[in-house]
Homo-oligomer: A and B are copies of this chain.
Amino acid sequence: MAYKLWYWPSIQGRGEFVRLALEAAEIAYEDCARTVGEEGLLADLNDRTGRTPFAPPYLELDGLVIAQVANILMYLGERHSIAPSTMADRLWLNQLQLTIADLVAEVHNVHHPVAMMDYYDDQKPEAARAAKQFREERLPKFLGHFEDAAQANPGDWLIDHRWSYADTSLFQIVEGLRYMFPRRMKTLEPEYPNLNRIHDQVAELPGIKAYLKSDRRIAFNTDGIFRHYPELDAA
């Protein structure tokens, strides 16, 4: 039986970290809301009882429902050997994924600083202020951290000689930030050669190559987490 992935059908968002790991490993899954739509997703979420997800994405197999991106990836890593198996390596990978999750939350906060449930248009002055500090202080701090992580295993993947889910997640971070902040990333990127190398290696994985060319990959847009608003970018 194939996995059922439940996530918003019109954005990459947080679900994309799960999609990328599944696609890279060529694991069969059904992206359910691409068929039943947003209403179908909300109906599925609201009908659940017991151990329920707080929010999408969640992954379902044989009655087991797993939510939270890092948790889903850890499960896939254990089950499909797309993660190392020693304790120290597993913890390091989970730690990196959780730091990626922190970055993603801060990225979302840039365009929704004061009212997560309202529109960007209702908080543009606040977003401009949030974007400035994010671009100038937070972004280099996060990217420098991931560069150090990528440098720890020179010329190779994050850990050992094979990709893991944190490699595909770093790919997505680079893709998303290039879309959201093209001018800022042009300035910063030369400082992160190892992070870029991992990005390029992931793009060449057969499963990812096929995925990026398929219509399963939703284009970046201004409904997702990484949003390109030119007024929030600067070199």
Write the residues of chain A forming the contact surface with B, with a CB cutoff of 8 angstroms.
50-54, 64, 66-68, 70-71, 74-75, 78, 87-88, 91-92, 94-95, 98-99, 101-102, 105-106, 109, 113-118, 126, 129-130, 133, 137-138, 142, 145, 148-149, 152
Contacts and interface: CB of A to CB of B under 8 A. Distances in A.
A73 B220 CA distance: 35
Assembly of this chain: how many copies? 2
30 contacts: A51-B92, A51-B149, A52-B148, A53-B95, A54-B99, A54-B102, A54-B145, A67-B95, A68-B94, A68-B95, A68-B98, A70-B94, A71-B94, A71-B98, A74-B91, A74-B94, A75-B87, A75-B91, A78-B87, A98-B101, A102-B105, A109-B109, A113-B113, A114-B129, A114-B130, A115-B129, A116-B138, A117-B133, A117-B137, A118-B133
B71 A91 contact: yes
Main secondary structure of the interface of A (DSSP, over half): helix
Nearest to A92: B51
A83 to B, nearest CB: 14
A94 B54 CA distance: 13
Contacts of A53: 95
B126 A113 contact: yes
